[in-house]
Amino acid sequence: MSILDILRYPNPVLRKKCKAVKKVDDSICRLIKDMIDTMHEAPGVGLAAPQVGKNIRLIVVDIGEGAFAVVNPKIKKKSGKQMFEEGCLCLPGLIGPVERSSYVLVTGLDRNGEPLTIEAEGYLATVLQHEIDHLEGKLFIDRVKDNNAIRQVTPHDEEKEELI
């Protein structure tokens, strides 16, 4: 098990658009495993490659139903609206309300390089959008409509369980 360092904002790597993964090889599979271990250790429910200093299109997610990875994820469809309080491992202690689509259809590759399609609603839809935003150099704070709504929380706040 390797725990990777999570970059903190304002590290410039977090603002770069990521490059597509050309091939899911052993190094990508190792990175996926290390990212999942890092996400669980943090703890978090999602992690994108740029958060651990890798400028590639790769995310891992686990909202309590088992961890999975999406290589080169793309949102193909989205609909509806919902609001969640979001946080980020790159911005520890900050949360804010973000409106996102309540449904997404995401395509990409799984950890074996096989085509993958995910239809997601609710919380999972929000987590996927949050992590895919990282691949475009966007953070949740960019999507908060009123900067006064961003607030500091402590690790003991009960709300922490809801954070992304």
Active site residue ranges: 131
On the 0-12 / 13-18 / 19+ scale of CB atoms within 10 A, 10 is exposed
On the 0-12 / 13-18 / 19+ scale of CB atoms within 10 A, 143 is middle
Q: Are 67 and 36 in contact (CB under 8 A)?
A: yes
Q: What is the spatial distance between Cα 79 and Cα 146, in angstroms, rounded to a whole number? A: 23
DSSP H helices, the chain, are 26-41, 122-135
Q: Which of 86, 82, 64, 83 is nearest to 160 (CA)?
A: 86
